[in-house]
Amino acid sequence: QVHVVESGGGLVQAGGSLRLSCTASGLTPDGYAMAWFRQAPGKEREGVSCIRRTGIETYYLDSVKGRFTISRDNAKNTVYLQMNSLKPEDTAMYYCAARETKYDLCSGVVGFYTYWGQGTQVTVSS
């Protein structure tokens, strides 16, 4: 059984930093793509960043480029999202997603992923 669990969200002032973590249990350590999505109230869920099973980061939402960095530790079945220079518009529920694949790819599209976590709230105050 696969479980995806996020952690690390919280309340931070604008300009601050947070690091989100996501652990996926029940999956082969280097056999899945992972991604971070976010959803603000009244808005659609959007892809923030994704990383291939080999650790190559592939996609960043334009508005987070240069501020957010995705990484993964396959030995720990964990993916991270380091978020720096946070802005109030980054406020959202952040979700982690995973998909088993034998190919070295990932996607920022919601429908690509099979497994989802429950989300962790990030709130950035101005």
- pLDDT at residue 118 greater than cutoff 90: yes
pLDDT at 57: 76
Tally of CA atoms within 13 A in the half-sphere of 101 that contains its CB: 19
What type of residue is 59?
A: Y
Measured CA to CA, the distance from residue 82 to residue 68 in angstroms comes to: 5
The pLDDT mean for the chain works out to: 95
Pairing, β 10-13 against β 120-125:
parallel
- pLDDT at residue 68 greater than cutoff 80: yes
Radius of gyration of the chain (CA): 13
| Spatial contact of 35 and 45, defined as CB atoms under 8 Å apart | no
pLDDT at 23: 96
pLDDT tens figures, 5-35 = 999 999 999 999 999 999 999 988 889 999 9
Sign of CA dihedral 6, 43, 60, 97: positive
Residues sharing a CB contact under 8 Å with residue 44, sequence separation 6 or more, in sequence order: none
pLDDT at 88: 97
Name the token pair of 106. 């990932």
- pLDDT at residue 100 greater than cutoff 90: yes
pLDDT tens figures, 27-61 = 888 899 999 999 999 999 999 999 999 988 789 99
pLDDT at 58: 82
Model confidence at 122, pLDDT cuts 50, 70, 90, reads very high
